[in-house]
Amino acid sequence: MAVITVSRQLGSLGREVGRLVADQLGYRFTWREMINEAARRASTPEVALATIDELDLLGLVPSTQACKAYCDAIQQVMTELAREGNVVIVGRAGQIVLRDYPGVLSIRIIAPYELRAQRTAARQGITLEAARSQVEASDNHRRAYLQRFYQAQWDDPMLYDLVLNTAKFTVQEAANIICPLALQYSAARTSNSSHTGGAR
């Protein structure tokens, strides 16, 4: 019943790593579905759009009340997913929302700035200069998201159990590192639950 949260930088291949981990373990994979569900519950579509709009193309500035409602809904959705277990949660500050939840393995996927720009340029078919601008805008957006919503530093290593640099590891190699850890977490969580149940 493991829960894996994945925080990633644009161009780090973090989403690809998370999806492969989910496929190899047979876990549920969730990403933007959480945003839509939280926005629906909180009736805050403007916050959902603002969180997706990493390049600030829409210029949305949701109200404090809307942001609070959205954060509460995200926490509710994530907690429900964690309770079900066997899930890989990408983004949306899962490393913070679920940091006190038992059995959660928080992963951060990173890569050097220039490599991320090169990957973004290749993927989107844009110039390297445009890709650099996107990477920088994305980093600023994600940093500001954690600061605004959770008063936390996005790159604080203490928020994560494992940090992997995909300049050093392929997507497959990263998944091969994460999967055994997730299984260990799952086994430990199951064992602890059994002992607790037996004590009652």
pLDDT digits (tens, 9 = 90+) for 68-101: 888 888 889 999 999 988 999 998 899 999 988 8
Domain annotation for the chain: domains and CATH numbers: 3-187 (3.40.50.300)
Please report where in the chains the tokens 């210029």 appear, as a residue.
Answer: 59
**Alpha-carbon torsion (98, 94, 87, 45), positive or negative:** positive
Edge-first strand order for the sheet with 3-8 is: 28-30, 87-90, 3-8, 104-110, 162-165
Query: Which three-class secondary structure string do you get for 33-56?
Result: HHHHHHHHHHCCHHHHHHHHCCCC
Tell me the whole-structure pTM to 2 decimals.
Answer: 0.84
Which stretches of the chain drop beneath a pLDDT of 50?
Answer: 194, 196, 198-200
